[in-house]
Structure 1
Amino acid sequence: MGADQGAERVTEAVADAVAVLRTVVDRDWAGVPAGRVEWSCLKTAEHIAGNLIAYAGQLAGRAQDTWVPFEIFLDDDTDAEGALQVVETAGTLLAATIRSTPREARAFHPYPFRSANRVGFAAMGVAEVLLHTYDIADGLGLAYEPPARLPEYVLTRIFPDVQPGPDPWRTLLWTTGRGDLPGRAPRTEWRWSNNLVLHTERLTLQGVTPASAAELAAGGDGDFEWVEDGPFEGTREAAGMTIKAYEAGVHRPEFGLFVLVRRQDGRAIGGMGFHGAPDEDGRAEVGYDLAESARGQGYATEALRALSDWALARDDVRSLCATIEPDNAASQRVIARAGFARATVEEEHAYGETEPGLWLYVLSGGAG
C-alpha cells in the first residue's frame, strides 16, 4: 500500500490507456469531440498530461496555499502519437514523484479540505487517466474498459461517500456522470474527496479512507507507521465500522475514523472519531483509543479537543457524547479535560438508551 502501490497504479493506468488509444492514432483527434466533454480528443489528451504534471508539481514543490503557477501545452503541430508520448512522460514523472514523497507530506488541492497526500494525488491522477481516456475513446467510437483494480483504487480513496457497486468501472462512470447504474439516479454534479486532516500542537488527526480502513480491519497498518504496540483493538474495530458504513452507502468521511499521528516522528499512536454522522437533532457520538505506550501524555485530550472544536463549529452539530465504563478513570479524566460532563437526566433521555453499565458524557456547542 502507499507510495509504491500509488505509483504502480498511475503507471498501469497510463500504460493501459495508451495501449488502447494507440490503435487509433491515425484518426483526426483535433477535429473530433471527446465524448461528453467540450474539448477535442487531442485537447483532452493534453488535459490528461497537464493534470498529471500539475499533480507532480504540487507534490514535488509541497505547494501549500495554491496551485504552482505553470501549465504545459502541446506544440501546435503535435499529432495523436505525440500527445500520447506526452501523457506517458507526464505519468512517469507523477509516479516518480509519488515514490519520492514522504508519507506525511501534503500539498494543496482545493477540494474539499485544501490538501492531499501522495495517495490522494495518485488516485486523482489515475482518475484523470481513466475518465478522460473513456471520453477520447467514446469520441472515436472505441471500446475501453480498464482493469477493475484501477477504478476500485480511485473509488476507495477519493470517493469515500459513494456506495461501492459490483462493477467498479461502471460505478466510477456513474459517479462522474458518464453512465447509468441500476437502482441509482443519474448524477449531474460530482467531486472527489481527499481525506480531512486536523492539526494540533503535537499531532495530526488524519481521516481514514475506505482503502485504509479495510487494511486496518484486516490486521494491516492502513498505510500508517505505527508505534510498536499499535494499533490498539478499538482502532481496528472502528475501521470495521467504517467499512460497514461505506458498503452500506451511509459513510460520511468527515464523521468517520481518524488516526492520530505524532508530528515529531510521524508515528501513529491511536484512533479517534465518530460513530456516524450527526442525527437530525445534531447529536454525534465520539470514541477513541491509544496504544498503551502513548497513554498518560495528554495526546487523547489534545486530539479530542481539536476534534470537538471542529465538529461543534459546524452547522449540523449541536452536541457530542461519549460513553465510558464507570471503572475507566483514565478515560474519564480525558473526557473531562476535553470539556465533556456527565449527562443530566434530561440529556440521557434526549440521547436515548445508553448501553447498560456505561456512563454518558456530553459536550454541547459553546461549552468548549
Structure 2
Amino acid sequence: MRPINGDDVNKAVAECLTALRPAVERDWTATGAGQVEWNCHVTAFHVAEALVSYAGQLAGRAEDSYVPFEITLDEGTDNAGLLHVIETAGALLAATVRTAPPGARAFHPYPFGSADREGFAAMGVTEILLHTHDIAEGLGLTFEPCADLAESVLAWLFPHVQPGPAPWPTLLWATGRGELPGRAPVTDWRWRNNLVIPAGRVTLTGVRPAAARDLSLGGDGGFDWIDGGPYQGTRDASGMLLKAYEAGVHRPEFGVFALVRAEDGRALGAMGFHGPPDEDGLVEIGYDLAEGARGQGYATEALRGLSAWALARDDVRILLAKIDLDNGASRAVVARAGFRQVGADDKLAAYELRR
C-alpha cells in the first residue's frame, strides 16, 4: 500500500501491452470485451480516451466540467496502432502527473467534484487494469497485474472497500467483475477520490488509507509539514483510520483531514472525526496543530469549515468535542467556532454544536 504516481501509469500500460499484443491479429471489433457492453476495439479505445481526458483535466486545471475535447483514431488504424495510442496516452498522463504541483486539483464528478494528481493517476491505472482484464477475457487471454498496483488502487480510490485476501481479486469483486468468498456480489460501484473542504486560509484535505499508514509509521503521508509536524495526535488518528479501513468500516468523508495552508501548501495539523455519525446523528470531532501553527487562528477557521460541511448533511445533527480541562487554547477554539459547553468530568469538558 503506497501512493500512486506517474510511473505507475506507465507500469500499468506496459502490463496492458504485454497482455494484449499477442492478439493484435485477431478481430477485436467482432469480439465482446468480458462483461462490458463494448467490443474489444471500443474498450481499448475507451482506455486511450480516458487517459488523454485525465491528462487534459489535470493539465488544464478544469474547475467545473470536463474540458470540451475528444480524440479520434485515423481511419484504418489496426489493433497494433490502437495499442500505440494507449501507450502514448499513458505517457501523456504520466508526464502530466509528474509535473503537476502538489495540491493541484481538477474537475472529476465522483464523488466530490474534483481529484488531485494522485487521484488522476489512480483513475488512469484503474481504467487500464480493469479494461485490459475485460479485453483479455473476451479474447481468451490470461491477465493478472502485479499485486502492488491493484493494492495501491484499492487504497487510493476504494477506501470504503475492506481489503481482501489478495488485491487483484478484491479489485475485480469491488468493480462487479468477480466473486469474493463471504461477500455479496457487487452490482453498482463508484470509486471515491478524496474530499477537500476549503476553510479560509487552510484546506482540509482528506487523508487516504495509504497516507494514513505512512503517517502511523512515522512518515509524512505525502504532505509537506511545517517544523514540528505532524503532531502525535495526527499519527494516532491515522492509525485509527487505518484500522477502520482494514476492518471495512471506514467512511472516507468521516475520516481524517490534513490542514494544508493555502498560501504555501504546507501541512499544519489534522482535524477529523472519530467515526461516522451514530443513529442520533451525533459525531465526535478532534484536531491538533503543530506547535509552529498554534495561536494564529488556523484551527478555528478549519473547525468552522468542517462543522459547516458536516451539519449541512442529512445524517449529522450534533457535533461533539471533548477537550482536556487544562487545555484553554483548544477550549477557546471550539467556543470561537460556535460550540457550547454541555458537560464536564474531572478530566474533560464536552462541547456541542447542533444543526
TM-score by length of 1: 0.95
CA-CA distance at 1:17 after TM superposition: 1.0
Distance between the aligned counterparts of 2:192 and 2:326, measured in 1?
A: 40
**Aligned residue in 1 for 2:268:** 269
**Secondary structure at the counterpart of residue 287 of structure 2:** strand
User: Amino acid of the residue matched to residue 119 of structure 1?
Assistant: E
**Aligned residue in 2 for 1:139:** 138
User: Where do residues 235-246 of structure 1 align in structure 2 (5 Å cutoff)?
Assistant: 235-246=234-245
Deviation larger for 174-183 or 20-29: 20-29
Q: Percent of aligned pairs with the same residue?
A: 63
Distance between the aligned counterparts of 2:220 and 2:171, measured in 1?
A: 26
CA-CA distance at 1:74 after TM superposition: 2.0
Paired residues in the alignment total 354
Distance between the aligned counterparts of 2:133 and 2:210, measured in 1?
A: 24
Distance between the aligned counterparts of 1:201 and 1:185, measured in 2?
A: 43
Moved over 4 A (4+): none
TM-score by length of 2: 0.98
Determine if the alignment matches structure 1 residue 59 to structure 2 residue 58: yes
1:102-157 superposed Cα distances (whole Å, 9 cap, x missing partner):
01110000111100000000000000000000000000011100000111111101
**Aligned residue in 2 for 1:351:** none
CA-CA distance at 1:8 after TM superposition: 1.1
**Aligned residue in 1 for 2:45:** 46
Distance between the aligned counterparts of 2:347 and 2:114, measured in 1?
A: 42
**Aligned residue in 2 for 1:327:** 326
1:138-177 superposed Cα distances (whole Å, 9 cap, x missing partner):
0001110000011111110111100011210000000000
**Secondary structure at the counterpart of residue 107 of structure 1:** strand
**Secondary structure at the counterpart of residue 13 of structure 1:** helix
Q: Is the 8 A contact 2:289 2:299 kept in 1?
A: yes
1:205-242 superposed Cα distances (whole Å, 9 cap, x missing partner):
00011111111111111111110210000000000000
**Aligned residue in 2 for 1:34:** 33
Distance between the aligned counterparts of 2:310 and 2:201, measured in 1?
A: 20
Distance between the aligned counterparts of 1:218 and 1:87, measured in 2?
A: 37
User: Amino acid of the residue matched to residue 230 of structure 1?
Assistant: G
Determine if the alignment matches structure 1 residue 260 to structure 2 residue 259: yes
Determine if the alignment matches structure 1 residue 165 to structure 2 residue 155: no
CA-CA distance at 1:73 after TM superposition: 2.1
Determine if the alignment matches structure 1 residue 359 to structure 2 residue 345: no
Distance between the aligned counterparts of 1:97 and 1:181, measured in 2?
A: 35
**Aligned residue in 1 for 2:187:** 188
**Aligned residue in 2 for 1:8:** 7
Query: In angstroms, what is the RMSD of aligned CA positions?
Result: 1.1
Q: Which has the higher contact order (CA 8 A, sep 6+)?
A: 2
**Aligned residue in 1 for 2:79:** 80
**Secondary structure at the counterpart of residue 343 of structure 1:** strand
**Aligned residue in 1 for 2:296:** 297
**Secondary structure at the counterpart of residue 114 of structure 2:** coil
Determine if the alignment matches structure 1 residue 113 to structure 2 residue 112: yes
Distance between the aligned counterparts of 2:77 and 2:171, measured in 1?
A: 31
**Aligned residue in 1 for 2:20:** 21
1:232-284 superposed Cα distances (whole Å, 9 cap, x missing partner):
00000000000000000000000000000001111000000000000011000
**Aligned residue in 2 for 1:70:** 69
